[in-house]
Amino acid sequence: MDTVSVKGLKVDATIGIFDWEQEIFQPLYIDLEMRWDNAKAAESGDIHDALDYAAVSSFVVELIESRPWGLIEEVAEQIAAGLFSQFQVPGARVTVNKPTAVPAANSVGVSIVRGEF
């Protein structure tokens, strides 16, 4: 099984547990590693045989922008659920980084692994 990845997808989100955070946009950076068999796409050259990372990226942006969020853990779980339901990936690692969460840190984040990875 192969891996298709999207690294550093930036999405401006309404996210946080504090009231003031629900009134502003903050950047999130999303990293995805998705299990996928690339053999058929490599042979055919047809995007329909591939995991369309542009479509995956659009899905992630639309999901995050669709509503306010409390925790980055929520975001990660919902992304993973969508990867399974909409793109039928057999496994995924989803990392959500929030660089503005802790002033003394470059970023904080969570990574989850779901399915066969």
Q: What are phi and psi of 105, to 5 degrees?
A: -110, 150
Task: Exactly one of 7, 10, 40, 98 is catalytic; name it.
Answer: 98
> Is 98 known to be catalytic?
yes
Q: What are phi and psi of 90, to 5 degrees?
A: -80, -15
Q: Where are the alpha helices (DSSP H) in the chain?
A: 39-44, 53-65, 72-87
The residues annotated as belonging to the active site are 98
